[in-house]
Structure 1
Amino acid sequence: MQAAMLRPLSIKEYLDGEEHAGIRHEYVAGQTYAMAGAKLRHNLIVQNLSSSLWQKTRGGDCQVLSSDMKVRVATADVFYYPDIVLRCGDTLPGDSLYLEDPCLIIEVLSASTANIDRREKLHAYQALPSLREYVLVDSDSRSIELYRRRPEGWWYELLSEGEGDSLRFHCVDLTLSLAEVYAGVDLPQGEATA
């Protein structure tokens, strides 16, 4: 058996390949990583958040995009597929393959992605000057981690249902209860939500 050395892909090779790939891949410094499918509760959380953000921003200068739009962080040499991205400002051309200036990124955590979302992606996304909020939503319990940019640096908040917290986005003026975020989601502990 012979071992073959894999050479890093160029950004152009990656983008060209993604346009024709049957599955999505994230790009990290010349290497690609296939994206796994998501569970029903993950999709329901994404749908709840996306639809609330879309209702709030409809008719304005913001675009709510979900898991098929890449975000490029040039300084980290990465392209990621966040679960939800909110971008405000001038409209991009309809054939844009990626964004570089989101104001809000939301990732719904799963056992296979939580560590990457909390470390690698958190560090990379914080390098985006436009990003104001990075939100991690647990798909196994009613818990949300919120990272928010402030003039003095990044701040962290943990929201949980037991404390009656609400999720307030600063990028757009929108507040959601955790019950709204988790509406219809059957959590693993059997704690079904309204």
Structure 2
Amino acid sequence: MAVSTEGKTLVSLDKYRAAEEISEFKSEYRDGEIVPMTGGTYEYNGIALNWVTCLKVALRGKNYHVRAGDMRLWIPQYRQAVYPDVLVISGAPVFNENRRDEILNPCLIAEVLSDSTEARDRGDKFRYYQSISEFQEYLLVSQYDARVEQFVRVGVNEWSLRVYDDLAMTVQLGAIDLEVAMRDIYEGIAFEV
């Protein structure tokens, strides 16, 4: 069922899910509104792949699950379905309504920033992610220079920020007890001067 409010057509979650299953392109669900996702640059995709590779190799055999941009995250408090670039689950994955395509419990999320997504990644998305009790660590990763901003939950509604801005640095991931070298995150990425 579609409902129109103020010029926008709102779609039920079930209708959105059905459309996503057959769509060639991904869209986010924002409390009834379907928003198409844009494609990424060569650098964007390379950085996301580097993150997944580093995490997957380092966490092999441990009780963590690493997923990339095709894993949909459902945020019930805000009725949002989004596709984080990288997410890590500690322990068993919890699925929304037993759907294998919607996860509920990431402990770590990484977003590679782009001009079209940066404001949302820093703003609304971060606020929505904070409503997930298991969520402990958020990484905002630049594709334009070597820079990772790390937000770590230190209390209720309290986050600390650490910035890594040198390829010689190592990102300390407390949520999963892991270190990742900036050189590995940006391997194969050439920045414009």
- Distance in 2 (alpha carbons) for counterparts of 1:91 and 1:25: 22
The corresponding residue for 1:16 is 18
Deviations along 1:157-192, one digit per CA (max 9) or x if unpaired, are: 222117x43211112221122112111101122xxx
- Distance in 1 (alpha carbons) for counterparts of 2:173 and 2:42: 25
The corresponding residue for 1:113 is 117
Look up the SS of the partner of 1:56 in the other structure: helix
Q: Kindly report structure 1 stretches of 4+ aligned residues shifted beyond 2 Å.
A: 4-7, 91-95
- TM-aligned CA deviation for residue 95 of structure 1: 5.8
Deviations along 1:81-132, one digit per CA (max 9) or x if unpaired, are: 0100101212567961111100000000011111110101111111110001
Aligned-pair RMSD on alpha carbons? 1.9
Look up the SS of the partner of 1:186 in the other structure: coil
Question: Of residues 79, 85, 88 in structure 1, which corresponds to 2:87?
Answer: 85
Any conservation in 1 of the 2:93–2:105 contact (CA below 8 Å)?
Answer: no
Aligned 1:58-69 pairs, distance under 5 A: 58-69=60-71
The corresponding residue for 2:3 is none
Aligned 1:1-150 pairs, distance under 5 A: 5-91=7-93, 96-150=100-154
- Distance in 1 (alpha carbons) for counterparts of 2:122 and 2:55: 23
Which stretch of structure 1 is more off in the superposition, 168-177 or 96-105? 168-177
The corresponding residue for 2:189 is 185
- Distance in 2 (alpha carbons) for counterparts of 1:76 and 1:159: 30
Structure 2 unmatched runs, 5+: 1-5
- Distance in 2 (alpha carbons) for counterparts of 1:92 and 1:49: 22
TM-score of the superposition, structure 1-length normalised? 0.89
Number of residue pairs the alignment of both structures matches: 185
Deviations along 1:128-169, one digit per CA (max 9) or x if unpaired, are: 10001010000001111111111362111222117x432111
Task: State the identity %.
Answer: 26
